[in-house]
Chains A and B, each alone.
Chain A
Amino acid sequence: MAKVKLTRTTTSDPLGTANRIKTYVGFSSVNRDFDSNTLYDYELARTDLLNAFYIKKGEKLELPDYGTIIYDTLFEPFTSEISKAIEEDVIEIVGRDPRWALDTLAIDQAEYGLNLSLDVLYIPYNISESLSLAFNQESGLEVTSNPIQVEQSTTVESAY
């Protein structure tokens, strides 16, 4: 019978450490001037979600159903049919990614464009975020968001 001697081995690979293990890993060059281009988990999911709003439906090569119809509606009169179509489009975009849940959605007409307010929940970490998407006929899409909030699962009663 062959004898096998077990020796303890260690690795110096810094990528193998426990705090580097993430669920979702991706790439983006947006706003990454000095750091790595690698995105993880929440940041990646947020980028994936916003990518769909930056792309006009039909523009993505080999994925004609990807993107949003909002750019096609910016020059149209803001009727209830348009509002409903945008609403269904946003619900579909958020629903396509199982990491996100759409809480509330508001669509408002603005000068030369539309403003969308979304409250979305990042399901894996239970983080909610309010996104304001300002679609403009000339400048395209501008995104603003409020600080990240962790959903409270329990309520604490006031001591007073």
Chain B
Amino acid sequence: MPAITKIGVSDIQGGVLANGQVSNVKVNGVDINVKGDGPHAGHGIGIHAAPNSTNESSSTVKAGGKFVIRQGDLADCGDPHANGSGDVNAG
């Protein structure tokens, strides 16, 4: 199973995830990244300047009522989330 991504730690092409919606669910001590989070730090121009985690996600695992984002799930800019948790996974 792919790793769950984390706000402030995981990234999209080098742009660190930010602006999480769920603050009461932690992964390795930091906020979890869920569907709808963002805009995250940019990694380019145009749509890559402020990507959001609105495209792909887990379809079965939720946190705070929203589906969690896993490593490899695509953001709305078409690039994948990377550097998820080393020991917390979701299907």
Give residues in A with beta carbon < 8 Å to B: 24, 45, 48-49, 51-52, 60, 63, 66, 96-99
Contacts and interface: CB of A to CB of B under 8 A. Distances in A.
Contact of B44 (A24, A66, A98, A99): A66
A96 B48 CA distance: 9
Which 10 pairs between the two chains have the least Cβ-Cβ distance?
A48-B46, A98-B78, A97-B47, A66-B45, A97-B46, A48-B47, A63-B45, A63-B44, A99-B47, A98-B77
Contacts of B47: 24, 45, 48, 97-99
Contacts of A48: 45-47
Contacts of A49: 46
Interface of B: 44-48, 55, 74, 76-78
A66 B77 CA distance: 15
Among B45, B46, B74, B77, the most chain A Cβ lie within 10 Å of the Cβ of B46
A24 B77 CA distance: 11
Q: Is the interface of B mostly helix, strand, loop or mixed?
A: loop
25 contacts: A24-B47, A45-B47, A48-B45, A48-B46, A48-B47, A49-B46, A51-B45, A51-B46, A52-B45, A52-B46, A60-B45, A63-B44, A63-B45, A66-B44, A66-B45, A96-B44, A96-B48, A96-B78, A97-B46, A97-B47, A97-B77, A97-B78, A98-B74, A98-B76, A98-B78
Contacts of A45: 47
A60 B46 CA distance: 13
